[in-house]
């Protein structure tokens, strides 16, 4: 691999029908801990700093299911789907490509690192696990032990120089190979095995699903709760710029909120709640009210950033809950739009977003209509690995 940062594209093949898995929804689109199976792989690559681009190959009948922008349409076999994917990324001519099965949502940043590291010196790198079980082959009505010496069970992502694997897939178009590394082998190119991960198994039959749920739930088992609170003053709007914004939508009202940004008090409280789950300060630390860049800024940007910081740690937002405290305007008629708006900004299903409101019975500054307050609570699951780097201070505290 060159010294300059190489251009590495991830190609995720998701164009299968999942026949062995069965069910009405193809396995790669099933919700797995609140996120479709294939999105676990998409997110793992998107959040990896060494990956420049992520492309997903889908079945032509599944366009409505994937919701992916700019998908590549696959073919009748996995090999055809990979070729279609390589053709689609050819114009950007990446240095390397990592080809991954969407049916392996248990991919980790460490696995991606391992492949990229190996590609610095090797032509082709694939993850594998030494076979641990005794192997027997059935022959003529009986069975016979096979040696498992030096045998590995192979996974994806499989990493190659882009040009090498693209040429090979074009050359062997229509022939049948068991995986992408097999094409290198046929061309006499050595294939290196790096350490695979037991949790990166392929969802093949329905029983695999519960194991995968347990694997991922345990990995992201560090459940955090964050809380946020904010208040902005209600004023008579000076101009059109200052419409009342709540939860990212404009709410018709004769007053608007005063602030440096668009003063969306609900999104500010929620941004703080999310930042709290990763102990990363508050909205003012990330977006200073003194910074001219955030003058009249759309607060959706702040919320999105908090969501991205959590994703970068491999975290998952499980649930968010916002309470808006005011006498007017009435929130009820806008509640569904507000939930959709937050869900859109954080790429969450609407079913994980709660918005509610209360008055304070005419009491206090909210009761007098001088301002609007908002409270938010966020629940996030983080991988345990991110919290294992305990300092001596932490250990001392835990020990007492
Ligand atoms: N795949 C693909 N295009 C195909 C066939 C498979 O992109 N024509 C993808 C699958 O979506 C999956 C990966 O290749 O992510 C591994 O394939 P497999 O586990 O066999 O999935 P399916 O082919 O969907 O399942 P089945 O063989 O049981 O039908
Ligand atoms: Mg298949």
Q: What is the pLDDT of residues 50-73, one digit of tens each?
A: 999 999 999 999 998 988 989 999
Pocket test for ligand 1, best of 12, 42, 71, 78 (most atoms within 8 A of CB): 78
User: Which range (82-86, 107-111, 338-342, 365-369) has the least confidence?
Assistant: 107-111
Task: Find the mean pLDDT for residues 147-171.
Answer: 97
Note the pLDDT of residue 247. Answer: 98
Q: Report the distance separating Cα 375 and Cα 276, nearest Å.
A: 13
Token output for 23: 């069910």
Ligand nearest to the CA of 74: 1
At residue 395, does pLDDT exceed 90?
no
Note the pLDDT of residue 33. Answer: 87
Note the pLDDT of residue 386. Answer: 46
Task: Find the mean pLDDT for residues 118-127.
Answer: 97
At residue 396, does pLDDT exceed 80?
no
Query: Does the beta carbon of 9 lie inside 6 Å of ligand 1?
Result: no
| Residues 311/317/68/74 CA torsion (nearest 10 deg) | 80
Query: Does the beta carbon of 324 lie inside 6 Å of ligand 1?
Result: no
Indicate the pTM of the whole model.
0.81
In which band, very low, low, confident or very high, does the pLDDT at 47 lie, cut at 50, 70 and 90? confident
Task: Find the mean pLDDT for residues 289-293.
Answer: 93
Note the pLDDT of residue 4. Answer: 79
Ligand 1 centroid – CA 17 distance (Å): 6
Q: What atom of ligand 1 comes closest to residue 27's alpha carbon? A: 24
Query: Does the beta carbon of 176 lie inside 6 Å of ligand 1?
Result: no
Alpha carbon of residue 248 to chain centroid? 22
Q: Report the distance separating Cα 309 and Cα 302, nearest Å.
A: 11
Contact 11, 81 (CB under 8 A): no
Query: Does the beta carbon of 12 lie inside 6 Å of ligand 1?
Result: no
Beta carbons within 10 angstroms of residue 395's beta carbon: 9
Query: Does the beta carbon of 178 lie inside 6 Å of ligand 1?
Result: no
At residue 267, does pLDDT exceed 50?
yes
Task: Find the mean pLDDT for residues 33-60.
Answer: 94
Note the pLDDT of residue 392. Answer: 58
Query: Does the beta carbon of 74 lie inside 6 Å of ligand 1?
Result: yes
Q: Report the distance separating Cα 10 and Cα 101, nearest Å.
A: 11
Is the alpha carbon torsion for 331, 332, 337, 343 positive or negative?
A: positive
Query: Does the beta carbon of 20 lie inside 6 Å of ligand 1?
Result: yes
Note the pLDDT of residue 240. Answer: 65
Task: Find the mean pLDDT for residues 21-38.
Answer: 94
Query: Does the beta carbon of 18 lie inside 6 Å of ligand 1?
Result: yes
Ligand 1 centroid – CA 202 distance (Å): 10
Note the pLDDT of residue 242. Answer: 74
**Which residue's CA is minimally distant from atom 25 of ligand 1?**
18
């Amino acid at each position: 691999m060159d010294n300059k940062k190489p251009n590495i594209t991830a190609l995720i093949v998701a164009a299968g029908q999942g026949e062995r898995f069965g069910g009405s929804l193809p396995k790669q689109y099933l919700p797995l801990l609140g996120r479709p199976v294939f999105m676990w792989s998409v997110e793992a690559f998107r959040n990896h700093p060494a990956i420049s681009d992520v492309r997903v190959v889908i079945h032509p009948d599944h366009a409505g299911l994937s919701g992916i922008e700019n998908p590549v349409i696959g073919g009748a076999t996995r090999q055809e789907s990979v070729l279609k994917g390589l053709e689609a990324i050819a114009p950007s001519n990446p240095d390397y490509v990592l080809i991954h099965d969407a049916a392996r949502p248990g991919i980790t940043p460490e696995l991606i690192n391992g492949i990229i590291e190996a590609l610095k010196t090797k032509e082709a790198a694939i993850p594998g696990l030494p076979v641990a079980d005794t192997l027997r082959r059935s022959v003529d009505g009986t069975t016979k032990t096979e040696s498992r010496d030096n045998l590995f069970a192979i996974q994806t992502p499989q990493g190659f120089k882009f040009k090498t694997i693209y040429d090979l897939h074009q050359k062997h178009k229509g022939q049948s190979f068991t995986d992408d590394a097999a094409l290198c082998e046929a061309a006499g190119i050595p294939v290196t095995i790096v350490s695979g991960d037991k949790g990166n198994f392929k969802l093949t039959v329905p029983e695999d699903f519960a194991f995968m749920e347990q694997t991922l739930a345990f990995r992201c088992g560090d459940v955090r709760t964050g809380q946020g609170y904010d208040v902005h003053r209600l004023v008579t709007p000076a101009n059109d710029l200052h419409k009342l914004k709540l939860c990212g939508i404009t709410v018709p009202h004769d007053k608007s909120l005063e602030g440096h940004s668009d003063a969306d008090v609900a999104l500010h409280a929620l941004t703080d709640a999310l930042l709290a789950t990763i102990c990363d300060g508050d909205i003012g630390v990330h977006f200073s009210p003194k910074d001219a860049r955030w003058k009249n800024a759309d607060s959706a940007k702040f919320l999105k950033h908090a969501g991205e910081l959590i994703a970068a740690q491999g975290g998952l937002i499980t649930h968010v809950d916002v309470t808006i405290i005011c006498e007017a305007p009435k929130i009820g008629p806008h509640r569904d739009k507000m939930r959709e708006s937050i869900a859109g900004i954080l790429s969450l299903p609407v079913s994980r977003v709660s918005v509610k409101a209360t008055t304070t019975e005419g009491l206090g500054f909210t009761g007098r209509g001088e301002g609007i307050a908002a409270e938010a609570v966020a629940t996030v699951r983080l991988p345990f690995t991110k919290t294992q780097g305990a300092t001596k201070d932490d250990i001392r505290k835990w020990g007492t």
